[in-house]
Amino acid sequence: MFEGFYKVRFQLNAAVGRSVMYARAGKMLGGNSAFAHIGTYQKKEADGSVDIMIQTVRHNPDPAYRAMAGTDDATLLAKGKPDGALYRFAGHLKELPGAVFSSVMTPIEEETIPIAGGVGEGGIINGLYSIHIRMLDGVEGGLTGVMLLSDGRILGGDASFYYVGSYTSENGRWKGQILNQEHTPDRGENPVFGGHEVGIGFAGTCDDQGALLEATAFAGKRSLRMTAVLKLMHRA
C-alpha cells in the first residue's frame, strides 16, 4: 500500500533536501519550508513499483532558500519500488536531464494522526496550503511549511517537522488542534520547537483563498503565542 503520510529525504547530485508528502488516490501533495510539491503517481500492482511526476512551486520568497534545480518551477520524473516499509525512488528533473535524483520516503505512523473534525457550510476548502507562522510576545523566529487540509484532518510539515491535527470549520471560521514533532533534527535552526513535541490549539477565519489563525503552543514548559497565514496553493 503506497497511500499514506511520509517524511522524505531527497538528493539531486550532491545537494540534499527534506520534506513531507501525502499520497492518496493517485495524487501526491507535500512540501517543505520553501516549496510545495504537487504531483501524481501510478502504482503497478504486478510488482508494487510506482511512477511519479511532481512539480515544485515556491511559497517562501526568502532567497536564503535556494532551488536545488536552479529554478523555482521544476518537474520531477521518477520511478520507485518498495523496500520494506520504505519507498526508494530514482529519476531526473526535466529542467536538468543530466542530474541524478534519488529519494527515500519513510512512513509516519498512522497512529499519530487524530480523528478528523467536521466541516460545514462556508468551511475551509480542502487543499494544500502554504503556512507562514510568526511568533508573538517578543519571541524571535517562526516557521514556514505546507499544510494539507482534508475534511477535518490536518497533515503537513517542512524540512524538519511534521504536523498532524484536526479541525472544525463553518461560516468562515475554523478551530482545531495540531501536534508538531521533529522528523529530522533541525540542527538548532528553530530552538523554540526543536527537540520538543509541541501541542498547538488555534482558532481563526477562512475564505476560499486561505485562512488566518491565532494559536497557543506548548513546547516543553513554555507557552507561546503565535499567528499564521495560510494560502491555498492547490485545491484537493
Widest pairwise Cα distance in the chain: 56
Q: How is residue 25 written as a grid cell?
A: 488516490
139 vs 137: CA distance, rounded Å: 6
Closest Cα partner for 173 from 132, 123, 226, 121?
123
Q: How is residue 236 written as a grid cell?
A: 484537493
In the chain, domain spans: 4-107, 113-235
> Cβ of 114: how many Cβ atoms within 10 Å?
16
**Is the model's pTM score more than 0.85?**
yes
Looking at residue 139, its pLDDT comes to 82
Q: Is 162 helix (H, G, I), strand (E, B) or coil?
A: strand
Q: Which of 78-82, 105-109, 185-189, 220-224 is predicted with the least confidence, judged by mean pLDDT?
A: 185-189
DSSP symbols for 96-109: EEEEEEEEEEEEPP
151 vs 38: CA distance, rounded Å: 19
At 113-167, the pLDDT tens digits run 667 788 999 999 999 999 999 999 888 778 899 999 999 999 999 999 999 999 9
Query: At residue 189, does pLDDT exceed 60?
Result: no
Mean pLDDT, to the nearest integer, of 63-72?
90
Do 4-107 and 113-235 show the same overall fold?
yes
| 101 vs 111, more confident | 101
At 36-67, the pLDDT tens digits run 999 999 999 888 899 999 999 999 999 999 99
What is the fold of 113-235?
Lipocalin (2.40.128)
Query: At residue 110, does pLDDT exceed 90?
Result: no
> Cβ of 228: how many Cβ atoms within 10 Å?
21
Number of C-alpha atoms within 13 angstroms, CB side, residue 146? Answer: 28
| 195 vs 149, more confident | 149
Per CATH, is 4-107 categorized as 2.115.10.20?
no
What is the chain's mean pLDDT, rounded? Answer: 91
Phi and psi based region of residue 208 (left: phi greater than 0; alpha: psi -120 to 50; beta: remaining): alpha
Query: At residue 18, does pLDDT exceed 80?
Result: yes
| 220 vs 176, more confident | 176
